[in-house]
Every structure is written in structure tokens, then in C-alpha cells.
Structure 1
Amino acid sequence: MGTFIQAVDGTKIYVEDIGSGQPVVMLHGWPANNNMFEYQKNRLLEEGYRYIGVDYRGYGKSDAPATGYDYTTMASDINEVIQQLKLTNVTLLGFSMGGGIALKYLLNHGESNVSKLILAGAAAPIFTQRDGYPYGMKKEEVDALIEDTKQDRPSMLKGFGEIFFAKEHPEPLLQWFHNLSVDASSHGTIQSAIALRDEDLRDGLPKISVDTLIMHGKKDQVCPFEFAEVMHKNINGSRLEVFEESGHGMFLDEREKFTETLVAYLKSGQTV
């Protein structure tokens, strides 16, 4: 069932809370919503897990306030979800921007309620290039993406979708995914793109001590594979699962492997 959690500033955050058992909190990527995990949700429910799909502020069914799209505020929103739903022994999966938000949540609010972390195609530790980090887009390229969003958001999203997957997918499936992003608020899309451009989580990686699985597409054109290598090197004890045939959207490019890897990790906690 769907429920709304009130954030610290009064923003209503929509949460799809279905099933029972161990909770799996799923954090979506920019600029979609929790429905991007439709196929994984179905499998989790079959396996007896509790699916907790969060729509960030500005996305899906959540409120879209004027402010609060930085990682600190969005991580606070996730904390309110976990606290108000009284979730423990959580597996926290963060995809793309959700990976950065998941890391920010753990760094700001602690690991006491989280037993496992999955960083899937994470836009972390940094999304844009800078000194000592030659990976990802240049800040100027994100600025151009933001300007395109201001001028013609649907066309920007179509172009973004063209580099999202490495495999061919049926047009109705691509249209479904496109529609998830069109549904987002324009200003939320812009403001969280600014957060993507500017956030730097490098110093926090060595502080992560929760059991961590990194899943990343080798052909990722949005968050290059080097992101995963940096995270794997700096998060102690982390494991890296490579998706050789996937771009950024590995949850559809290698849907069966992505879902089975997720379920196996949930069941064993140690062996993928």
C-alpha cells in the first residue's frame, strides 16, 4: 500500500510499502521514481520481502517543494521514512543518484538500522570530473543538461534515455521508462541535477562499515565503470559485481541477473 511520510520541513514523501518480512528500501535514480523497480519489486514480494519504494521530494507522488534537493535534505527524508516506519535490519539499495543519497544517509544518520548496502550504478563518490577525479561528465556538460531541461525537458529526457541502456529494448518499454521521468517536477529535476553536479562523497567512503555490494554496468555511459572501481577500493570489505553487457540501466539490460543477484545477496548476506 502507499503511504505518506512527513519530512522535517513538512514535505510529504510518498512510500510504496508492500509485503512483509525483511525490508528492502529502494532509492531510485534521477529523474525517475520508485516504479522503475517494478520487476524487482514483483520478485521481492514473491520471495517474502517487504518492498519499501521511496519517491524523492519532487518525484512520483511526493510533494514538490521549492527547496530541499541537496543530498543532506534528501538523506534526511530517507531517515524519516526509516524512523517513522520503524524499519530495522534494512537492506538499502541506491541506484544512480540514489547511491549517493544512500551513502549520505549512512554518513549523516548512522548504520544502526541498515544491515546491507547495495550501490547499483551509483553516481558516487562524485558524478562530475574534478582534480584527482577524471571520471564522469564535466560540470559544464551537466550545466548544458540543466539548460536543456529549462528549454525542453521532454526532449532532454529522450536524449538522456538514448545513452541509458546498452541493449535494444522494445519501444513500449522505453516509453514506459521515459514516462516515469516526465512525471517528475521540472524544478526538482533541475535542482537535484545541481546536487548531482556538486556533491563529493570521497571522504565518506572509508567510513562506510556496513556490508556492501556494488553492482555496475561495464558499458555505463552515465556513471562510468571507474566510479565502481573507486567505491570498491575505498569501501572496506565491499564486493563488486560486474554487469558485462549492461549500460547504466542494468535493471533492464540484464534484468534477470540484476534481480537474481539482488535476491541471492538478500538471502545469503555474504555470497552472491
Structure 2
Amino acid sequence: MGYFVRTNDQVNLFVEDTGEGKPIILIHGWPLNNKMFEYQVTALTEQGYRCIVPDLRGFGRSGKPASSYDYSHMADDIDAIVRFSNVDEFHLAGFSMGGAIAIRYATRYRESGLQNLFLLGAAAPSFTQREDYPYGMTKEDVNGLIESTYDDRPAALAGFGENMFATEVSEPFNEWFFQLGLEASGHGTIRTAESLRDEDLRAELTDIQAKTYILHGKKDEICPFTFAQILNDEIQASELIPFEESGHGLFYDQQEDFNQTLLQLLNADV
């Protein structure tokens, strides 16, 4: 079932709501949309979970405002979905940029009923390098990606996606995955890339109260595995689960192992 949720600043967010049972909210990464979780929604709903999977503002079928693409605005969007969905207790999983947004949500809405937080190849605590943080892309590299998005967005996204998977994927799958990024708005793609460049979550990691599971590919070339190690060191109630043969797209590189691990962790909480 698909429906729209209106945010506090009057943006209509599209949400795919499938299955019955304990709810899990899945937040997609940049520059994708909720369809990226196709193989997780199938596995989770077959095991009795309700999957609430939005398109972030600017992406997929959601509204595409000109501005307000910082992590706090998008965390507020998740809160609007939680309230509309009428869930008292739920799990939250975020992939890549979605992981960063999930962290901001967990620290901004500590009394929300969030039970477990799943960070999946998260673009956190900072996606870009800083004076005391030599990990990830440089700000200059992200600026170059942004500039190329202004000039030729399909080519920019194709180049970015070359390092998504560590295993071989079929050409039809690769084309389908590429097209997900083109469903986004150009300005939403650019504004969220600016957020990836500028946001820094390091100071709030110790504020996370929910039990946190960090799933990350050891061969990730977009969000290095060091990100996961830092998250695990700083988040008090956290567990790091490495995926040895996965790149950034661990949800597909080791699809079966990933889905089974996610289900085991969810079932352990029942």
C-alpha cells in the first residue's frame, strides 16, 4: 500500500507500507529511492514484519522542494511518517545517507519509541574528510561531483555508481539501479550532496540511546569500513557486523547473508 504523508513544511512524502507485524522503517541512500530495498522488503514481509519505506524529499515519488535538505529536516520527515503510521515501537534502518539521517533522528527524537537502530553502510559520522578526520571523500571531490551533476547528471551518477558493488551484478540489474537515481530531482540530488559534504555527526554519537547494529562491507570504497569502526567505538550500545565480501551495496553484494543477518537481529529482539 502506498500513500503520502504531509510534513510540517508542507512537503508530500511518498511511503510504501507493506506487510503486517512489527514495523521497521527503511531509509534509502543517495541518490536512490525506496525501491532499492526491494529484496529486503520481500524477505522481511515474508517473516511477519511491516516495512514502512519512504522516498526522501527530492527523491522518487515524494515532493521536491527547492530547499531544506539538511539532515534535521529529513529527520523531521521521518518523525512525520512515524506519527502518521501510528506506530508505538519500531526499528529504524538507514543505508548510506539514510544511515546519517537515521542517526540524526535517533538523537533528535529520543522518546519516539525507537527500539533498534540499524546503520547499513552508513555515510557517517562524516562523509567527508576534516582536519582531524582523514577518512572518506575530500570536500573538493564532492564539489566536483556536484559540479558534474549540474552539467550531466546521468554521467555523474553513472561514475559514482561504479564503486557501489564489490561483486559482479547483471547488466539489467545495474541499469535498473542506475535508473533509480534518475528518478530524483536534480536540485534534490545536489542539495543532499551538499549535506553529505557539510554535515558532521561526531558530536552526537554518544547521545544515541537505542541499541545499534552497524552492518558494513569490508570492501566499501564509498563509505570506508573505518566509518563503521568509529561508529562502533563511539555509540555505547552498538555491535559491528562486517560483511567480508561486500562493497557499499552490501544489501545486494551478499544479499542472502545480509537478509538473514537482519532477520536474526530483529528476531532476537522479539
TM-score by length of 1: 0.98
Corresponding residue number in structure 2 for 1:76:
76
Say whether 1:204 aligns with 2:198. Answer: no
Aligned-CA RMSD value: 0.9
Distance apart, 1:112 and its partner CA: 3.2
TM-score by length of 2: 0.98
Cα separation, 1, equivalents of 2:254 and 2:221: 16
The number of residues matched between the two structures is: 270
Distance apart, 1:269 and its partner CA: 2.7
Cα separation, 2, equivalents of 1:258 and 1:59: 25
Corresponding residue number in structure 1 for 2:258:
258
Corresponding residue number in structure 1 for 2:22:
22
Corresponding residue number in structure 1 for 2:91:
91
Q: Secondary structure at the match of 1:116?
A: strand
Q: Secondary structure at the match of 1:248?
A: coil
One-letter code of the match for 1:157? Answer: L
Cα separation, 1, equivalents of 2:7 and 2:67: 13
Q: Is the 8 A contact 2:100 2:125 kept in 1?
A: yes
Distance apart, 1:237 and its partner CA: 2.2
Q: Is the 8 A contact 2:25 2:53 kept in 1?
A: yes
Q: Secondary structure at the match of 2:240?
A: strand
Distance apart, 1:111 and its partner CA: 4.2
Q: Is the 8 A contact 1:111 1:210 kept in 2?
A: no
* Structure 1 segment 111-126 matched on structure 2, within 5 A: 111-126=111-126
Corresponding residue number in structure 1 for 2:149:
149
One-letter code of the match for 1:146? Answer: I
Corresponding residue number in structure 2 for 1:4:
4
Q: Secondary structure at the match of 1:252?
A: helix
One-letter code of the match for 1:83? Answer: R
Q: Secondary structure at the match of 2:125?
A: coil
Change in CA separation of 1:247 and 1:111 when aligned onto 2, cut-off 3 Å:
farther
Cα separation, 2, equivalents of 1:111 and 1:217: 31
One-letter code of the match for 1:98? Answer: G
One-letter code of the match for 2:27? Answer: L
Identity over aligned residues, as a percent?
A: 51
Q: Is the 8 A contact 1:23 1:88 kept in 2?
A: no
Cα separation, 1, equivalents of 2:144 and 2:130: 17
Runs of at least 4 residues of structure 1 off by over 2 A? none
Query: Which runs of 5 or more residues in structure 2 are unaligned?
Result: none
One-letter code of the match for 1:49? Answer: Y
* CA shift digits 1:142-184 (9 cap, x unpaired): 0000001000000111111111111111000001100100111
* CA shift digits 1:195-251 (9 cap, x unpaired): 000000001101111111000000101000000000000001200000110100011
Query: Which runs of 5 or more residues in structure 1 are unaligned?
Result: none
